[in-house]
Amino acid sequence: MLFLQFLGFGFFDFPKYILNPNASEQELLKWNGWGYNDSKFIFNKKGQAEFTGKRYRLGGMVLPTFKEWIEKTFGASLEHKTTSRASLNVNDVPPSIVNEEFLQDLRATKISYSQDAEDRVFRAHGHCLHEIFVLREGMFKRIPDIVVWPVCHEDVVKIVELACKHNLCIIPFGGGTSVSSALECPEEEKRTIVSLDTSQMNRILWIDEKNLTACVEAGIVGQDLEKQLAESGFCTGHEPDSMEFSSLGGWVATRASGMKKNIYGNIEDLVIHIKMVTPRGIVEKNCQVPRMSTGPDIHHFIMGSEGTLGVVTEVTIKIRPVPEYQKYGSVVFPNFERGVACLREVAKQRCAPASIRLVDNAQFQFGHALKPQVASIFTSFLDGLKKFYITKFKGFDPNILCVATLLFEGDREKVLQHEKQVYDIATKFGGLAAGEDNGQRGYMLTFVIAYIRDLGLDYYVIGESFETSVPWDRVLDLCRNVKERIVRECKEKGVQFAPLSTCRVTQTYDAGACVYFYFAFNYRGISDPIHVYEQIERAAREEILANGGSLSHHHGVGKLRKRWMKESISDVGLGMLRSVKEYVDPNNIFGNKNLL
């Protein structure tokens, strides 16, 4: 008590909730894992895997082969269980240190804020493995001292002004789905850290149907944006795998990419105008035009700046009428090489559907393990027949074949036409159409994979995903070498079970592709699994770079991949970025230490 007073505030200045306008949403989400509280994988009384909740197609379904897959793939056993602590231990949380003068100024603005431990911890992390591990078993050394909830652009201007006045550090927070350690507070930061939560800036300000644009506040979450636009018959079509939780501002700040970029484009193709508040003032353009030649595009300083320059408050984004028709599809290839060749050809002919992905054999089996119990003998008979046709009649090796998943979108007629074109190309590369269901399940996997990680954590299995982009001619070599590197590094680092090391080609471009890796292993018998994990992830990244891949296609750099920035963009390039930072934010108010 005395101690607290000494620090400048008494116990009663330290209420649990001053106001958390986000409290209801926050309570829906797990505090120590991915996604919604009600959605998770469990093993039911019969020992079968089951996905709870009703939010996903998989919800409430029993997955009869999933347990076996886990046991086989990881050597994990249901008897060896670790448990996360049940709730946050408030006593462990670093105290909130906020100067009283600032608090007075803040109260005067009427902007909601909170110094509550749970609120602060919730915004102290993204979803990297080590962050989740800390939540389950430890505590962050440094977390935000205070959370603020501006509700509009003007609020943000006020907050940034106050931060400049009191020399505070601001870390913008959107959906909290970062996987680059971008949200972690720098341990050595001595100033008060203000977490600027944009979640209350979530309105669509206007829709311009003539120009097909919409001006939206940056805190809006992906699924809300699409839901609200859909009410007027529109969509942005920007669907990153995290779209249930990630925010528009976050997409801009990390140069995000969406699953359906083939039709709608990546974030840099979608934005028409950005308004950002910086310590130096507000940066924006004078008009909302499709293109302009006025020197280097200032949007490109903002996109990918990862919260180091300011807070994006409003974004004008392209919109499209909601497509009339959607159709999933899938193609089985005899092997990964043929599959990649097919995707390359599709990209060459520029006829890629909204989404086209190629999963390798391990990921195909992974997806297969998530197949729900079939309802009737008839479906199971049909499944058997399909399997027989592919493996016996067509001679595909079930341990080598791989699957492309497809998503078509547009007019019904055009979709069918497009579908035929793509399947024709696939046939040339030995591909066999494998049905809509397989396709849809493939996409579902990307939404539930993060939930699976939480399940794994309960059984000594840790894992993560990472991504890169690579020229077409190096795709195969990169995939093979990175997977192999992971396997070897695991062996060398004393991992006692063979890891899951799998990839998919997840986006196609004219000149290359985006490759996504999943990597997980059973860490029983290892004393410091996170350290081992990080060493292996680092080796995998080195391997990617040596194979001509990029540091990141869409996850960003954050603090996790900073060490390779110089190598990635050259000394001069880094200097260019630094000089922008120095001009815009000379006192490092946006001090999350990402990127540079």
Partner 1 sequence: MALSSCSLSHSFFICSQQKELTSKKRDEFEDILEERRLSSDLRYAMKCYTPVIYKGLSPCKPNAIKSAVLQSEQVQYVIKQLAKEMGESPDIIQEEAMEILDEMGHSMQLGAVRFFAFTLSKIFKQLFQRVCVNEEGMQRLQHAIQEHPVVLLPSHRSYVDFLMLSYLLYTYDLALPVIAAGIDFLGMKIVGELLRRAGAFFMRRSFGGNRLYWAVFSEYVKTMLRSGYAPIEFFLEGTRSRTAKTLTPKFGLLSIVMEPFLKREVFDTYLVPISISYERILEESLYAYELLGVPKPKESTSGLLKARRILSDNFGTIHIYVGQPVSLRTLASGRINRCPYNLVPRHLPQKPSEDIQEFVSDVAYKMELLQIENMVLSPWVLVAAILLQNLPAMDFELLIEKTLWLKGLTQTFGGFIEWPDNLCARKAVLSGLTLHANIARLVDGHVVLNDKGLEDGAVGEIVFKRALAILMCATYRNQLLNVFVRPSLVAVALQMTRSFRKEEVYSCFSFLRDVFSDEFIFFPGISLKDFEEGCFLLTKCDAIQTSQQEIYPTDKGSVIVSFLSAMFKPFVEGYQLIFRYLSKETKEAFTEKQLIPGVRNFVFQLLEKGNTQCYEALSSDMQKNALAALVQLGAVKKKKIVETLLWDPATKFLNSLAGCFCLPLPFGFQSFSQGFDKQREQSCLFLIEGLLCVLE
- Give catalytic residue positions: 516
- Span 115-144, contacts to partner 1 by CB under 8 A: none
Tell me, by CB under 8 A, how many residues bind partner 1: 14
- Is 48 within 8 Å of 64 (Cβ atoms)? yes
Q: Which of 27, 43, 38, 124 is nearest to 458 (CA)?
A: 43
* Chain Cα centroid distance, residue 96: 29
We find the least distance from the C-beta atom of residue 563 to partner 1, in angstroms, to be: 12
State how far the Cα of 477 lies from the Cα of 176, in Å rounded to an integer: 34
- Asked if 441 touches partner 1 (CB under 8 A), the answer is no
| Binding-site positions for substrate | 453
Residue 192: how many other CB atoms lie within 10 Å: 20
We find the least distance from the C-beta atom of residue 86 to partner 1, in angstroms, to be: 44
We find the least distance from the C-beta atom of residue 483 to partner 1, in angstroms, to be: 9
* Candidates 14-22, 168-176, 247-255, 473-481; binding stretch for partner 1 (CB under 8 A): 473-481
Give the bridge partners for 320, in sequence order: 235
We find the least distance from the C-beta atom of residue 342 to partner 1, in angstroms, to be: 18
- Is 253 within 8 Å of 174 (Cβ atoms)? yes
Query: For the chain, what percentages of helix, strand and coil (3-state, to nearest 5) are there?
Result: 40, 20, 40
We find the least distance from the C-beta atom of residue 357 to partner 1, in angstroms, to be: 23
Q: Which is nearer to partner 1, 374 or 511 (CB)?
A: 511
* Candidates 88-96, 408-416, 450-458, 471-479; binding stretch for partner 1 (CB under 8 A): 471-479
Strands (E), 142-285: 146-149, 169-173, 193-197, 204-208, 213-217, 234-235, 271-278, 281-283
Q: What angle do CA 442, 262, 338 make, to 5 degrees?
A: 55
| Binding-site positions | 172-178, 254-257, 306-312, 453
- Is 372 within 8 Å of 441 (Cβ atoms)? no
- Is 431 within 8 Å of 342 (Cβ atoms)? yes
Backbone angles phi, psi at 101, to 5 degrees: -65, -40
We find the least distance from the C-beta atom of residue 409 to partner 1, in angstroms, to be: 34
**Buried b / exposed e along 226-259 (16+ C-beta atoms within 10 A):** bebbeeeebbbbbbbbbbbbbbbbbbbbbbbbbb
Distance between terminal CA atoms of the chain?
41
Location of structure tokens 């559907």:
353
Q: Which is nearer to partner 1, 362 or 407 (CB)?
A: 362
Q: Which is nearer to partner 1, 145 or 489 (CB)?
A: 489
- Span 475-494, contacts to partner 1 by CB under 8 A: 477-478, 480-481, 484-485
Q: Which is nearer to partner 1, 245 or 564 (CB)?
A: 564
- Asked if 265 touches partner 1 (CB under 8 A), the answer is no
Q: Which is nearer to partner 1, 277 or 490 (CB)?
A: 490
- Asked if 502 touches partner 1 (CB under 8 A), the answer is no
We find the least distance from the C-beta atom of residue 548 to partner 1, in angstroms, to be: 4
Strands (E), 411-530: 432-433, 461-471, 500-508, 512-522
* Chain Cα centroid distance, residue 339: 25
We find the least distance from the C-beta atom of residue 485 to partner 1, in angstroms, to be: 8
Q: Which of 258, 413, 422 is nearest to 347 (CA)?
A: 422
Phi-psi region of 8 (alpha: psi -120 to 50; beta: other; left: phi over 0): left
- Span 562-591, contacts to partner 1 by CB under 8 A: 567
- Is 217 within 8 Å of 152 (Cβ atoms)? yes
- Span 525-544, contacts to partner 1 by CB under 8 A: 542
- Asked if 474 touches partner 1 (CB under 8 A), the answer is yes
State how far the Cα of 17 lies from the Cα of 36, in Å rounded to an integer: 22
User: What is 243-307 written as a DSSP string?
Assistant: TTT-BHHHHHHHT---TTHHHH--HHHHEEEEEEEETTEEE--SS--S---SSS-THHHHTT-TT
Residue 91: how many other CB atoms lie within 10 Å: 7
Q: Which is nearer to partner 1, 58 or 347 (CB)?
A: 347
| Binding-site positions for FAD | 172-178, 254-257, 306-312
- Is 173 within 8 Å of 183 (Cβ atoms)? yes
- Asked if 546 touches partner 1 (CB under 8 A), the answer is yes
We find the least distance from the C-beta atom of residue 480 to partner 1, in angstroms, to be: 7
Where along the sequence are the contacts to partner 1 (CB under 8 A)? 473-474, 477-478, 480-481, 484-485, 542, 545-548, 567
